[in-house]
Amino acid sequence: MAALTEAEKVAVRRHCGYPLFGGQPVQAFGYRFMTHYGTLEFRMENMQDEEATVVRGFLTKLAAFEEAEASVSDNLDTAAAAVWTRNPNEHADRQRLYDSWVKKLLGFFGIPRGPALSGNSRNVSLVV
């Protein structure tokens, strides 16, 4: 049974939107106060064959998508070059592609998006 490296765990946490784990236990921090964070940590620590076949595949793709999204700005100054015309939706398209793979990774771990990802509602509702 191979384990995820610390760098891979950091990447999984980051892509899933969960905060850094940290090296020192602090009273009001981390998995002790976030059920899904604890589930993520437990599942990362107790994998069997999944890390080689699925998670590293996810991490490789997510890193490539993230880099491609970041490099969109390389062509922002070009509206048209010869017959080539920049896709004005490139950034949004790449972001959607990245987000779709993040959802697959979250589904694999069986957890919701972490608090660092956009789209999480921080509103509190009181029903009486």
Rounded CA separation 20/34 (Å): 13
Residue scoring higher pLDDT (74 or 28): 74
Domain coordinates in residue numbering, the chain: 6-109
Kindly tell me if the per-residue pLDDT of 48 is higher than 70: yes
Kindly tell me if the per-residue pLDDT of 103 is higher than 70: yes
Tell me the two tokens of residue 107. Answer: 């589904």
The closest alpha carbon to 69, from 37, 34, 101, 98, belongs to 98
Give the pLDDT confidence score for residue 71 in this predicted structure.
77
Give the pLDDT confidence score for residue 123 in this predicted structure.
43
Calculate what percentage of the chain has a pLDDT beyond 70.
68
Task: Count the residues in the chain.
Answer: 128
